[in-house]
Homo-oligomer: A and B are copies of this chain.
């Protein structure tokens, strides 16, 4: 039994999107509920994948197409390529997910020098026939053969100019005959062979061209941005043509059942009389608003509007969501050419979701599922003015590392960013890569652009944490930071140049594009309340400062999942003290240095506790390699030398000794605590003493969770946990207060995941550090991943950047091993995630499914995680 590659519309339904694509499945579905759909058939996505692998349509596929075509011809009573009564068809792509404008379409297929005459006779409309023919020649040349349509359009413009008219409607049958003849000449001139007259040849070439368009560069880019796997493929829909270009009772239109920008109920869209579909898109004539159809003089047209209102209503009830439709009306008869769930802005998405529930069209669960969590980003960040953005031309592209829009003058150092921002300038910080010392500059800048680094590079992580726009890893940039300029897309940028960054797409513009804050509506609160009522997974935030904590609380965070204590050490006043620690030779020197830091830590923890009140706060002990703190300039060395009473030369020798070849896998995390027990001792002291202080002064119930990073072996956890407990218990006992605290660990080293059952004998909670876990599991450094990821995405080796979207297959397998292992030892083990994946919807769903208690993400991603968690609960109830 051979596989079924071709389905007549009447054989399909909406549930068959994987095989028939969205368009094919919905055409079938509309046909089945009695809406007027021109007959046709769909060639499956499986046929596409096979074609793209082998480069040939198999005999089986061809045989089934022939069979379907015969059925179609019988149904319509016309024959493809027939001279007297030709069947014309459209050949259109349709993938499982909507990818608007990414792939190709051919209309009016089946016309040739004889058939066009037959069509003219049969329709009694020679002008229409030749108009259709010239359209077909151009589309076939452009889409199937790759001869750009500009050659044809240029000629048409010349022709109209010569005749002294402006619009196509001003041309008559004779004109189109001449144009069609000339188009065939252009075709032959560019392609070297005659335009194919054989209709079957036209059909198969068109099908193959649509299949190939699945692999075109813009489709690949779109898929990467939207997490659409390459191996879905596209289907092809072959449908009998209906014509909007047969006269004044004919036309074409695209419309939504609600306003996609605002969410307001009612038809929204455009139509054109006496035109085919591509005319609307091409903007040849200015179309009218769809509701103007109700004001047309011709009652036939007004009737179409009435029909449309009913159709939209029917489809919304049927699909329980806002619809995006394509229609054609031919001599007063309405035909549905497509319907799909309509894309919409974030505010519209929220309004529609809430309205649909109050209209009784959808349940709360359906409403929650109708909004893409990633879209919420738009609500929380600066966005560019849409029209201004549409006109701007990007000069380059990096990774969309942190959403939002930023525009300003270029600065090359954090100091400059601070100074010029303080002077009232809008600036964008451009760096080879950022380091913790750049933080103040990053805060001051509108946005950050880096040449190196991936989605979890320092710049990306910090920017997301602050809600600042960041584009990272734009390797095309040639930067000369010393001389303060860089080159991109053939343009040299200096400190006087304006630049704009789109953090949602990664595009970089060489101009100052205006932007605005988005607003959050009352519907948003209603909607998020539904999400909170639904989800089982808690959502915490990663935050290092009281400011972060406040922002995240405002976004609905239920605690802090990660305080990175090291971020506190980079402030101007503090860093010299940290450097004394790093450059110390003896334990005594280290203890001395640590003492100074203890007070800072207490101040910080106290402030964070006061914001979070009774909510849980997880504090991670010092994590990064020490050399991150090292002085770089002579002045900085001198400052440390003065404090320590040492020579700069000695300190420089010491600093060189701290160099590591692979710092990511070097002396960091709990390894620092093992080497220098005075460090966890000091940090524990600060954590517990500030908890006691806040409990005393404010009465909040502070129960800190102390997290030990980079554990790979239970004995190292035991070693550090013993220090923490001994220190904490003593302080608590002396305070006479009842302070509960937990000691847990990050699971971020593959070995820790593998041996989680042992680790859980000591750890009271696990938090998956999926940034490091992904790096180690892949053996791929996030700082060096730029070129590798580009090549791998290009060659379809990776479907997505694993540092941005959790690799459920590999890293996820380790997480499952760890979750099961940990809970086998300690059934009530609290499990969370604090890697950047905690804010990625598909990763959140995975965390829900493997039984985590919470996800923790940057403040600005908290709403996304809340919605994603609700959706996960609806899809996989637990």
Using CB atoms and an 8 Å cutoff, list the residues of chain A in contact with chain B: 660-667, 671, 674-675, 710, 712-713, 715-716, 719, 748-751, 754-755, 772, 775-781, 783-784, 787-788, 791-792, 795-798, 807, 809-811, 813-814
Contacts and interface: CB of A to CB of B under 8 A. Distances in A.
Contact of A662 (B665, B710, B749, B787): B665
A660 B453 CA distance: 11
Given A675-B791, A783-B662, A795-B674, A778 B712 contact: yes
Nearest to A780: B665
A661 B784 contact: yes
Contact of A665 (B664, B713, B797, B807): B664
Contact of A784 (B665, B749, B795, B814): B665
A306 to B, nearest CB: 53
Contact of A772 (B779, B798, B809): B779
B751 A674 contact: no
Contacts of A719: 795, 797
A776 B716 CA distance: 17
A787 B777 CA distance: 24
A675 B787 CA distance: 9
Contacts of A784: 660-663, 665-667
Nearest to A666: B784
A810 B715 contact: no
Given A675-B788, A755-B810, A810-B712, A779 B776 contact: yes
Contacts of A665: 662, 664-665, 775-776, 778-781, 784
B754 A792 contact: no
Given A674-B795, A791-B674, A798-B713, A754 B777 contact: yes
Please tell me how many copies of the chain the complex holds.
2
Contact of A797 (B662, B710, B713, B754): B713
A784 B667 CA distance: 7
Given A665-B784, A797-B674, A778 B792 contact: no
Nearest to A796: B715
Contacts of A674: 788, 791-792, 795, 797
A664 B662 CA distance: 7
A440 to B, nearest CB: 23
Contacts of A810: 712-713, 750-751, 754-755
Contacts of A713: 797-798, 810
Given A660-B783, A660-B784, A712-B777, 20 more contacts: A661-B784, A662-B665, A664-B665, A665-B665, A665-B776, A665-B780, A665-B781, A666-B780, A667-B788, A671-B792, A674-B791, A674-B795, A712-B780, A719-B797, A749-B777, A749-B778, A749-B779, A750-B750, A754-B777, A776-B777
13 contacts: A660-B783, A661-B663, A661-B784, A662-B783, A665-B784, A666-B780, A674-B788, A675-B787, A710-B779, A750-B779, A751-B777, A754-B813, A776-B777
A776 B788 contact: no
Contact of A716 (B675, B792, B813): B792
B667 A664 contact: no
A524 to B, nearest CB: 39
Nearest to A452: B661
A778 B675 CA distance: 17
B797 A777 contact: no
Contact of A712 (B661, B772, B779): B779
Contact of A755 (B661, B671, B716, B809): B809
A330 B807 CA distance: 75
A816 to B, nearest CB: 10
Nearest to A810: B751
Which of A663, A751, A807, A814 has the most chain B CB atoms closer than 10 A to its own CB? A751
Contact of A776 (B748, B750, B807, B813): B750
A205 to B, nearest CB: 27
Nearest to A667: B788
